[in-house]
Amino acid sequence: MRILLTGSSGQVGHALDSTLRSLPGVEVIIPQRTQMDLSRLDLVRDTIRDIKPQLIINPAAYTAVDKAESEPGLAQTINGDAPGVMAEEAKKLGAALIHYSTDYVFDGSKRGSDGSLLAYTEQDATHPLNVYGSSKLAGEQAIAASSCAHLIFRTSWVYSGFGKNFLLTMLRLAKERDELKIVNDQWGAPTWAGWIAQATTDIVRQLQQASDTDAWWAAHRGIYNLTTQQYTSWQGFAQEIMQQAVGLKLLDKAPVVSGIPAAEYPTPATRPVNSTLSMQLLNEHFQIQPPLWSQALTDCLRGINTEQAAQ
Ligand SMILES: NC(=O)c1ccc[n+]([C@@H]2O[C@H](COP(=O)([O-])OP(=O)(O)OC[C@H]3O[C@@H](n4cnc5c(N)ncnc54)[C@H](OP(=O)(O)O)[C@@H]3O)[C@@H](O)[C@H]2O)c1
């Protein structure tokens, strides 16, 4: 299978670059940025026509959530229009597209009658609160409109031992400060990029093994939530990072992590209070059981440990 992979310098793309290569009979092609800058739709189109992939996997995105508020046009082109072009070209080639989206397509107001948080399903109405979320929703809609064979995985709170993310920021701040104040009234499932890559690769394996790929796509195409099990606040995530990092000897000591409301940490982009996503559909279609978010954190931190020990 000839796979065109974007965003290999990002968290999910970097992880996919290695997990996809573990599949037999897979050729992974990673175009240079100059060949496939997603802000240049003509380049995106030409490069797909040159490479003629059987599957496009697109974790590349404009992910600077706050900066997007002042660059809505660029965010729309990269997150909204480029995935649509990929889908159109995939359709023409008889290829398929795997794309990633976000919990930020929702406004986070979903609650039960008792006021408790309820996890969003794939069928819930979308209502983004910020430019980034609107641009990612536009990408989902453009892909669906193309009617190409596709899977869209909505994920949340992505981190890894690589790139720019909350985990690595916390590990750095832990070495610099004795106390951290972290938001305690937004809730979600921290999701290790390595797990997203593993689950995606498992699903590509299922596709490879399908005796009738048209029937497989007819049964499975669409949107799926793809995070980890259970949820926490940013403060809870930070506390768990500190505890595990000390246990794994990545840190000598942990700072005190106290909670603050998001209102005391104003950002240009408004973020949803409830980012929790149900994974029932993912499990029903692909028999995938996501790990607990805290277990996935351990798996990620063990990798960081090994990398550091090797240096
Ligand atoms: N990060 C999160 O917390 C989060 C949460 C929910 C959903 N998601 C979604 O999950 C997916 C993967 O996110 P991630 O965290 O892996 O992202 P990331 O680490 O920020 O990586 C983004 C990737 O996109 C590439 N990219 C950006 N602009 C580009 C352009 N104009 N042309 C070509 N490539 C471009 C980047 O390349 P450079 O390095 O060269 O800029 C990088 O490789 C995205 O669809 C994102 O929207 C992420």
Closest residue to atom 14 of ligand 1, CA basis: 11
Q: For the chain, which residues make up each domain, given as ranges?
A: 2-164+191-228+276-291
Q: Is the pLDDT of residue 311 over 80?
A: no
pLDDT band, residue 28 (cuts 50/70/90): very high
Question: Does residue 245 contact residue 168 with C-beta atoms inside 8 Å?
Answer: no
Q: Which of 104, 132, 224, 231 is catalytic?
A: 132
Q: Is 114 exposed, middle or buried (0-12, 13-18, 19+ CB in 10 A)?
A: exposed
User: What pLDDT was estimated at residue 305?
Assistant: 61
Joined together, the tokens standing for residue 246 give 């000390």
Eight-state DSSP code of residue 161: S
Q: What is the mean pLDDT of residues 201-215?
A: 96
pLDDT band, residue 165 (cuts 50/70/90): very high
> How far, in Å, CA of 6 to CA of 258, rounded?
38
pLDDT tens digits, residue range 76-117?
Answer: 999 999 999 999 999 999 999 999 999 999 999 999 889 899
- The verdict on domain 2-164+191-228+276-291 having CATH code 3.40.50.720 is yes
> How far, in Å, CA of 38 to CA of 78, rounded?
5
Q: Is the pLDDT of residue 71 over 60?
A: yes
pLDDT tens digits, residue range 292-309?
Answer: 999 999 999 998 864 443
User: What pLDDT was estimated at residue 276?
Assistant: 96
> How far, in Å, CA of 4 to CA of 52, rounded?
9
Q: What is the mean pLDDT of residues 187-199?
A: 97
User: Chain-wide mean pLDDT for the chain?
Assistant: 95
Tell me if residue 132 is catalytic. Answer: yes
pLDDT tens digits, residue range 269-282?
Answer: 999 999 999 999 99
Distance between Cα 47 and ligand 1 center (Å)? 19
